[in-house]
Amino acid sequence: MNTPHPQTVVPAVSGARLITGAVNWYGLYTLYLKEVWRFLKVPAQTLVGPAATTLLFLAVFSLALGGATRVVGGVPFLEFLAPGLFMMAMIQSAFANPSSSLVMAKIQGNIVDLLMPPLSPGEIALGMVAGGVTRGLVTGLVLFIVVQPFVPLAPTHFFFILFHATAASMALALIGMIVGIWAEKFDHIAAATNFVVTPLAFLSGTFYSVERLPGIWHTLSQLNPFFYMIDGLRYGFIGTADGSLTVGFAVMVVLNLGLWVLCHRLLVSGYKLKP
Partner 1 sequence: MTTFHLRVTGGVNWYGLWTLYLKEVRHFLKLPAYTVLAPTVTGLLFLAIFTLALGGAVRQVVGLPFIEFLAPGLAIMAVIHASFDNPAASVVQGKLHGSIVDVLMPPLSPAEFTLGYVLGGATRGLLVGAALLVVMQIFVPLVPRHPGVVLYFAVATALALAMLGFVAGLWAPKWDHLAMVNNFTITPLAFLSGVFYSIGGLPDAWQTAALFNPFFYMIDGFRYGFIGYADGSLMTGMAVVAVLNLALWFLCHRLIASGYRLKP
Residues that bind partner 1 (CB under 8 A): 42, 44-45, 48-49, 52-53, 56, 59-61, 63-66, 186-187, 190-191, 194-195, 198-199, 202-203, 206-208, 212-213
* Minimum CB distance to partner 1 smaller for 56 or for 257: 56
| Closer residue to partner 1 (CB): 64 or 216 | 64
The residues near 81 (Cβ < 8 Å, ≥ 6 apart) are: 57, 58, 61, 67, 151, 206, 207
**Minimal distance, residue 192 CB to partner 1, in Å:** 10
CB of 84 to partner 1, least distance (A): 11
CA 157, CA 234: separation in Å to the nearest integer? 10
| Contact call for residues 139 and 89 (beta carbons, < 8 A) | yes
Closer residue to partner 1, CB minimum distance, 56 or 115:
56
Q: Provide the CB-side half-sphere exposure for 212 (13 A, CA).
A: 9
Rounded CA separation 263/273 (Å)? 13
What element of type H or E holds 75? strand 75-76
Amino acid occupying residue 269:
S
DSSP 8-state symbol, 243: S
Q: Of 62 and 166, which CB lies nearer to partner 1 in the complex structure?
A: 62
Q: Given the complex with partner 1, which of 42 and 115 has the nearer CB atom? A: 42
Specify the residue, 23 or 42, whose C-beta has the smaller distance to partner 1.
Answer: 42
Question: CB of 198: closest distance to partner 1 in angstroms?
Answer: 7
Long-range contacts: 221-229, Cβ < 8 Å, 24+?
224/200, 225/171, 225/200, 225/251, 225/252, 225/255, 226/91, 226/168, 226/200, 226/201, 228/164, 228/252, 229/87, 229/91, 229/164, 229/167, 229/168, 229/171, 229/204
* In the complex, minimum distance from the CB of residue 51 to partner 1, in angstroms, rounded to a whole number: 9
Q: How many CB atoms lie within 10 A of CB 187?
A: 10
For residue 103, the minimal CB distance to partner 1 (Å) is 13
Q: Minimum distance from CB of 199 to partner 1 (Å)? A: 6
Q: Which is nearer to partner 1, 49 or 121 (CB)?
A: 49
Min. distance of Cβ 207 from partner 1 in angstroms? 4
- Identify which of 157, 160, 231 has the alpha carbon closest to the alpha carbon of residue 201: 231
Q: Smaller CB distance to partner 1: residue 42 or 261? A: 42
Residue 6, exposed/middle/buried by CB under 10 A (0-12, 13-18, 19+)? Answer: exposed
Q: Are 96 and 176 in contact (CB under 8 A)?
A: yes
Task: Quote the least distance from Cβ 64 to partner 1, whole Å.
Answer: 4
